[in-house]
Amino acid sequence: MSSPQRVLSRFEEQIRESLVVDMDERTIVMIGVITSTFFIGFGGGVIYPILPNLGSILGISPFIVAVIMSANRVSRLVAHAPAGGFVDRIGTRTPFVLGVAIQGVATAGYVVAMLVAVPEALFMGARIVWGVGSAFVFAAGQTIAADISDEASRGKSMGLIRGGVIFGFPTGVVLGGLLSELAGPIVAFTVATGFAFIASGLAYLTVPETHVTESEEPRSKPWEINTGVPALSVGVVNFSVYFVYFGVLFVTLVVFLDAAELSVFGFGPQGTSGLFMGLSVIAAGGSMYVAGALSDRNGSRVPTLSCFLLVSSVGYALLASTDSMVLLTAACAAIGVGQGGIIGPLTALLADLVPDQQMGRASGTSNLFGDIGGASAPVVALPLADIVGFRPIYVACAVIPLVALGVLLAGVYRATGQFAPDIED
């Protein structure tokens, strides 16, 4: 090892030692992953209120703004499978740290784009790069949680890691809106960049390698995709929850409230929808940890998953019949609790059912299904709302989690011979 490398290695050891306060290594790694994903989610949230308004800020056409907004999701769809393959091939540390750093560079691209003559190209490029980075973060983060947890703590660990992003994003949305109003978009983008690079530093200093094994199996190719029954079954559930939540609820709620003439505290449809989406996100973040812990204690993931899929279904049924603020509050709270309660146990179930050396690819498959659901729902929901109205759409959203539950039970039975296998099996 060269002298500069020894100095850097010793510096890293000192930083790690200063972070350890009567905590085992597993806890340190979990804190590092959760904190990194929180700051990445926070940085992503800061920019979110600004990007839809680029047309008025920079004179970009609405069509180009829409393409810029969706570019990261398109690139992530392409990157999910390779990201999972790289995790299984080279381990978790490098893809996770690299993914976080890539998102930091992409966020810095927004700042540069505000200062150049042709901002459209830079914004587009930054969004594409961001999507690639997030695919690596998702695949590596979920695999790290699976690697450092056992069956008795896996649900809780998965819920905590996903909760980092869930809580970070809305916090960033609030700050981004305030900063853009008070100091302008360049300052807001700069703050987001700072948080993204803080996340990169934390990831580098606190996340070790967790996924390199001595298995005699041939190492996976980056382009290999896990198409096993567990990954596909979990992917279908992921598709359904992203479809009804991020795809339908987040896109249609503001228009539904306007049509139903529902408001709170004197706010218009935008302010009211923001408050109730925030309520659902907070409920989701809390239920992620609770549901994960319940699935660990119960000895089987499936009963917990079934309960929260049912809660999600009830929430959309309430939304379909909403004619008052009381019902709207109950509906959004139930939808959030159901959404969050599904994620931790679902990802833990995937880790229970696939071999350790395939978890990266299985995560990539599951995440791919989720993004397809989130991306396709607005294309379907908004045009249909003009034809049949919102209530039939929300009734359909109440049915979709039940269909997903049926697919999950069939897939689990096909893979294990049981509808509710013990987590030790």
pLDDT of res. 9: 55
CATH number of 229-416: 1.20.1250.20
Q: Is residue 6 very low, low, confident or very high in pLDDT (cuts 50, 70, 90)?
A: low
14-49: pLDDT as tens digits: 444 443 333 467 788 888 888 888 888 777 777 777
Q: Is residue 424 very low, low, confident or very high in pLDDT (cuts 50, 70, 90)?
A: low
> Under CATH, which architecture does the 23-206 domain have?
Up-down Bundle (1.20)
Q: Is residue 13 very low, low, confident or very high in pLDDT (cuts 50, 70, 90)?
A: low
Percentage of the residues of the chain whose pLDDT score is greater than 90: 38
Examine domains 23-206 and 229-416 and report if their fold is the same.
Answer: yes
pTM metric for this prediction: 0.80
CA distance 94 to 75: 20
Q: Is the pLDDT of residue 349 over 80?
A: yes
Other Cβ atoms closer than 10 A to 267:
13
105-120: pLDDT as tens digits: 999 999 999 898 888 8
Amino acid at 72: N
Q: Is the pLDDT of residue 1 over 80?
A: no
Mean pLDDT of the chain: 84
CA distance 418 to 146: 22
- Token pair belonging to 269: 């449809």
Domain boundaries, the chain: 23-206, 229-416
Average pLDDT (168-191) is 80
151-160: pLDDT as tens digits: 778 888 888 7
